[in-house]
Structure 1
Amino acid sequence: MKKKIALSWSGGKDGCMALHKLIGQGHEIACLITTVPIELERTFGHGEKMEAILKQSEALGIPVHFIRCTFKGYTQSFIDSLKDLKNKYQLTSAAFGDLYLDEHRSWGENTADSAGLEALYPLWMKKDEAAQALQDFADSGYKAVIIRTQDNVLDDTWLGHEIDQQLIERMKSTPICPMGEAGEYHTFVYDGPLFKKLIKLQFGERIQMETTTRLELEDLSLIEK
């Protein structure tokens, strides 16, 4: 049965893999949904500029809806927005790109259920399958770069690196989850099979935050393919 889905979207590889798999299964992605702290105007998940997410939305040809919320009211804002989007798009489901953390899945299932939607986890796997998942992404034709690292596990030399075979080999010598499931690193996808346009970008300054370092993306523009 074809499902009509709102996909939780932070701009990185996991959401992109979920998008690709769901479309490959014949489902319709009605919209992307991205949470944004009211006071920052950047994404909750990766701290990315809203402009960058809008460029992805346009490149993919899928509308994005920003959920402006506070940390305290995050869950209720998510539920309320899902209810609105359910009515707007006649949604059947909400999908998430989580891989194996049970607490993340429980949150998504409860949130979707509260909005009257089915929760989908198209990438769900065992923890020891994460290395193969990273390899699958590198082989998929999608292009992504690391834009944020957790300082206690990865230094800033990882920033700006493509998810490619060279990075995978380097990743083997680190103690982290290869997919960064615990937030060890975050990525930004700028091209691939479902992208109707390429996102051209430049690397800006590196910003040291409390526990992470973020690479700014600048001069984003869309290029016809």
Structure 2
Amino acid sequence: MKFAALVSGGKDSIFAIQKALEAGHEVTDLINIIPARDDSYMYHSINLHMVELISEASEIPLIQQESSGIKELELDDLTLALKKVDVDGVTVGAIESQYQANRVQKICDSLGLEVYSPLWHRDPEELLQEMAKVLDVRIVRVAADGMDESWLGRPINSTSIEQLKALNRRRMVHMAGEGGEYETVVLDAPFYKKRIEIVRSEIEWLGDQGTLNIIEAKLVDKT
């Protein structure tokens, strides 16, 4: 099947593309929604400029759609974006969010599109282990008890997965960040033709949460 992929630049949406490609599907377009508000219920707002580099790295065309970010009204913006592509369905990186899954499904039903959700209800630890084997994932935002400034820029690998397991046991932090505990960006994936390198970044820390703002990044050849 021919898919458009809903992407934020984070691990879940990128891994959903990887799973679609492994299953023999074609991903022809990336769809990125840019909310006007940081508190959007549907869309990420951190380091969204990185999606443009992901499009260049993967050589998959990007469609960006600005959004009000207002609850429920922001769904119209996703509908507008999906009307711009000629595909059979949409890949999404949803894991547990019923709110997001239900709304994407409703929009796709109205447009006659299939929804491809390969991560839905997967075991979080198992999922992170799979991701760590093929993706270069970096944590760029934290907002959870027990996740301090040192987490920003940290890769998702065997060490950090064990640390997330400990936080899950002690403080109920969701290992995959489904409660908004952390957000990520993917610097490399098997379907990238080039990898992304962060050139300059700065940490913005606000007492109990913070963000790694990526100021400059570039594409480099894979070695």
**Pair 1:165-2:152 in alignment:** no
Match of 1:48 in 2: 47
Alignment gaps of 5+ in structure 1: none
Q: Distance in 2 between matches of 1:153 and 1:119?
A: 35
Alignment gaps of 5+ in structure 2: none
Q: Distance in 1 between matches of 2:7 and 2:119?
A: 14
Shift of 1:60: 0.7
Shift of 1:84: 2.1
What is the one-letter code of the residue matched to 1:171?
L
Shift of 1:100: 2.2
Q: Confirm or deny: 8 A CA contact 1:46 1:186 kept in the other structure.
A: no
State the TM-score, normalizing by the size of structure 1.
0.87
Q: Give the secondary structure class of the aligned counterpart of 1:57.
A: helix
Q: Give the secondary structure class of the aligned counterpart of 1:147.
A: strand
Q: Give the secondary structure class of the aligned counterpart of 1:188.
A: strand
What is the one-letter code of the residue matched to 2:126?
Q
Q: Distance in 1 between matches of 2:181 and 2:144?
A: 8
Q: Deviations over 1:38-72 (max 9, x none)?
A: 478xx94142142x111111101111111101022
Structure 1 segments of 4+ aligned residues over 6 angstroms from their partners: none
State the TM-score, normalizing by the size of structure 2.
0.88
Q: Confirm or deny: 8 A CA contact 2:200 2:217 kept in the other structure.
A: no
Q: Give the secondary structure class of the aligned counterpart of 2:199.
A: strand
**Pair 1:148-2:146 in alignment:** no
Percentage of matched positions with identical amino acids: 28
What is the one-letter code of the residue matched to 2:24?
G
Match of 1:191 in 2: 188
Q: Distance in 2 between matches of 1:21 and 1:49?
A: 22
Q: Confirm or deny: 8 A CA contact 2:148 2:208 kept in the other structure.
A: no
**What's the Cα RMSD here?**
2.1
